[in-house]
Every structure is written in structure tokens, then in C-alpha cells.
Structure 1
């Protein structure tokens, strides 16, 4: 009889020990998923803007669109659907800069092209302790190549 009483008290201690282990384990699991998703989003956007810059330096356009719109389409296509959502807060920017002083210029060959994704709000899974969602952004630069023929939609950016 004495042994049976000790086992019943021990069983209650085991339940408490499991509860004390499982709660932090779930917290660490959600934390690792949140950090992994943020890293995945950042690397996806970085890949997308690099592809946009690669497309932009060649001066190519998608049929019937200007170069800026074509670059934005390439970035959206390479962002694995994250930027296609109408509720997405991110904006895609295409800027052309002078290689001499960094001032804003048109999309002439030899100028620097900058493509960026800015303002993407990532809502973590365990957001009950946070008030604001972290912002994810990516940016890439390169020098535009000389290309034959007329410039596609010469633009000056804001």
C-alpha cells in the first residue's frame, strides 16, 4: 500500500514536469518558424530585385510596356507570389541614378539602376506580444549596359 501512494504522487509530478517542458518548447518552435520565415522572405525579395536589375540593365521590355513596368513585373514574377497579393503593403521602386554624383536621371545606358522592394510587413505567427509587424526590404544596384536602338520609354524618376 505504501508503494501505491508514492506512485500516485509521482504521477502528478510527471504531469507538471511535462507541462513545464512543453510550453517553452512550443515557444521555441514558433520562434524558430518566425525567424526562418523572415529569413526566407528577405532572401526571396533579394533574389527578386537582383533578377529585376539583371533584366533592367539589358534595356529589355515586355511587349507593350515601359522599362519600369517590365522590371516591376519581373520582380513580382520572381517573388514567389508574395508581392502579387493585393493586400501586400510592399512597393517596388525603380530608380535611375548618375554614376558621377548619384542624382536622379533617366534610364540611359551607363547610368546606375536601383530596384528595391520596400515596406513589406511580415506578421509573425506568435504576434500576441508585439504591437507592430517588422518591415522587410531588399535593394540591388547595377550599371546599365549600352544597347542598340531607341531607349524603351525614357523616364525620369521622382
Structure 2
């Protein structure tokens, strides 16, 4: 009977020690695990923003080559260039404003909406090159030191030939 109590006490003490060791191991491993996990999530967001903006530029270009202007939110005075920008915004799933875009079309750069104009996407039969410089702001300080100003810079572009559309 005494031996049985001795063994059960020994087992209880060993179990307490094991639980303490588990807590210490968890305290050592958890910060590293969380840093790696946050880094993976941040990288995934960077790639997602790149792919989303590439899709948006492609959709905007596909719309631009048709010469249509019906996507312009200003229904009373629809402009082709506004419709194309709106198509890019709609296709970017809300990321357009977040990436601080700088649009370049046919080697002319437009830094903000006040510089947009009717000729920026070319005329019928012209080759259209749309390039957008994007800056994705990083959410965590983990990767910020590796990027200029803590922002991931990427460029998305498409090249297409405008169709021979009539004047709109």
C-alpha cells in the first residue's frame, strides 16, 4: 500500500513537471511561430494585391479597346477616360485607392485624377499600353524594413490594340 502511494505521488510530480516543461516550450516556440505566420499572411496579401491589380488593369484595357463610355458614373456627360478608370476601380475589388496608383498610358504619366484627359487612352486603331505603378502599404513592422518607405512597390501593365470604333 505504501509503495502504491509512493508511485502515485511520483507520477503526479512527474506530470506536474511535464506540464511545466510544456508551458516553457510553448513560451519559447509561440513567438517564433507567430512571427512566421504573420510574415506569411503579409506576403500573401502582397501577392493578392498584385494579382488583383493585374486583373483590374486587364479588364480596364479590355474595356478601353472597345471605345465605349457607358461605365462612366456621370450619366449626363459620359467620358471614355472616366469610364475606363471606373472599370479599373470596379475590377480592383476596392484596392485601387489603397495602392496609391500612378497611371501611365503610352509613355505619359498621370499622377492624379486632375491630370486625366480624353486623349489618355488613344484613338481608334492605336496601340494602348496601360501601366499602373502601385504601392501596397505593409500592415506589420515585420517586413517594413525590407521595403522602401515600408511599402511594396509593384507595376502591372497590359498592351492591346484599340478597335476601329466610331466616335463616342
Superposition TM-score, scaled by structure 1 size: 0.73
Instruction: Give the deviation of 1:91 after TM superposition.
Output: 2.2
1:111 and 2:141 are equivalent in the alignment: no
**Using the alignment, how far apart are the partners of 2:144 and 2:51 within structure 1?**
23
Gaps of 5+ in 2: 1-5, 108-119
Query: Is residue 2:86 matched to residue 1:73?
Result: yes
1:28 aligned onto 2:72:
no
Please give the root-mean-square deviation of Cα atoms over the aligned residues, in Å.
2.7
Which residue among 129, 150, 153 is the counterpart of 1:135?
A: 153
Structure 1 residue 116, shift from structure 2 partner? 2.7
Tell me the residue number matched to 1:17: 25
Larger Rg, first or second structure (1 or 2) = 2
**1:46–1:138: 8 Å Cα contact kept in structure 2?**
yes
Cα distance per residue 1:108-155 (max 9 Å; x no partner): 22221122332322213x32452422123311111111113x2x4xxx
Structure 1 residue 50: deviation in Å? 0.3
- Provide the C-alpha distance between the structure 1 equivalents of 2:16 and 2:121, rounded to a whole number of angstroms: 80
Asked if residue 57 in structure 1 is aligned to residue 72 in structure 2, the reply is: no
* Aligned 8 A contact 1:96 1:111 in 2: no
Structure 1 partner of 2:117? none
Q: Deviations over 1:14-40 (max 9, x none)?
A: 211122232222122212211111111
The C-alpha deviation readout for 1:51-93, integer Å capped at 9, x for no partner, is 010011111113523322221111001110112x4xx352252
Which runs of 5 or more structure 1 residues have no equivalent in the other structure?
98-104, 153-158
Aligned pairs, number: 140
